[in-house]
Structure 1
């Protein structure tokens, strides 16, 4: 019983301070039906990750809705550390770059283009080179999910859209 009361008290205090669980952000009315389009080498993957995240927030794209554009999206990778004993690369830096904007169904710019930059490093055990490819793929998928969340946070919390809410 004490645990239940403690949990209820914690839930009430967190809800009062504006804390929201993931998936609890409200879609501003001006963005209802938001569609996502992407271009560039990673544009399609990033657009898909962002669209999935939007659906988890309760937004379902509509043909007549505004468009979240993700332009020139790409992921690059560079070596940042080499093993002194084996000479093999052991640490990498993935960099995702893109430009995001929102355009209304009427073609007017709702949110002007702004750059997006996300960097993540990862390392692997050089004794198991077969795992490297899978680790790189996992690191890139993680980066796409993080970028999608960052895009949503920037767009949904933009003062331009928050001011329009009641």
Structure 2
């Protein structure tokens, strides 16, 4: 009896997968790139510009967009990360919590060198706590926090660009 139930469940799952696959259902992997932005290239300036540009480029590639020499340019200017101490231990005076802030300006320039999206500021924040039990872990925490900040910044940039009225695809 138990084995029969397993087979029934397996066939139900297989049948559901076939039905959903046949109707065009797919898991979301990213946003669809509008035709105006096909072949979008990404460039960055500033201390964190290259890292942020790479994060945006990876996200675009996951969605099937590969940079082309004559494609439009997503420009990330003056990208840098600042860090502030936001919590200090009253007993030892040691910093316990930090706030990393990503600053940048983003714009999109068309292949004809016209400004498609005017420059706009980007500001992303991420906090992390200091592990006083393992002082050597602080550097690893900081690296992980900044990597997360870059990925969040890349998603925010793409969200802004792809949802901009300039690039929003018209419904048929």
Equivalent-residue separation in structure 2 for 1:82 and 1:122 (angstroms): 13
CA distance 1:137–1:4, change in 2 (3 Å): farther
Equivalent-residue separation in structure 2 for 1:163 and 1:57 (angstroms): 16
Report how many residues are paired: 161
Return the offset for 1:24. 3.4
The answer to whether the Cα contact below 8 Å between 1:97 and 1:118 also exists between their aligned partners in 2 is yes
> Secondary structure in 1 aligned to 2:39?
coil
> Secondary structure in 1 aligned to 2:46?
coil
Structure 2 equivalent of residue 99 of structure 1: 105
Alpha carbon RMSD of aligned pairs, Å?
2.4
Equivalent-residue separation in structure 1 for 2:47 and 2:69 (angstroms): 25
Return the offset for 1:133. 0.6
User: Given the alignment, which residue of 137, 144, 147 partners 2:150?
Assistant: 144
TM-score w.r.t. length of structure 1: 0.87
Equivalent-residue separation in structure 2 for 1:4 and 1:25 (angstroms): 32
The answer to whether the Cα contact below 8 Å between 1:67 and 1:104 also exists between their aligned partners in 2 is yes
Structure 2 equivalent of residue 124 of structure 1: 130
The higher radius of gyration belongs to 2
Unaligned 5+ residue runs, structure 2?
A: 1-7
Unaligned 5+ residue runs, structure 1?
A: none
The runs of at least 4 aligned residues of structure 1 exceeding 3 Å deviation read: 1-9, 163-166
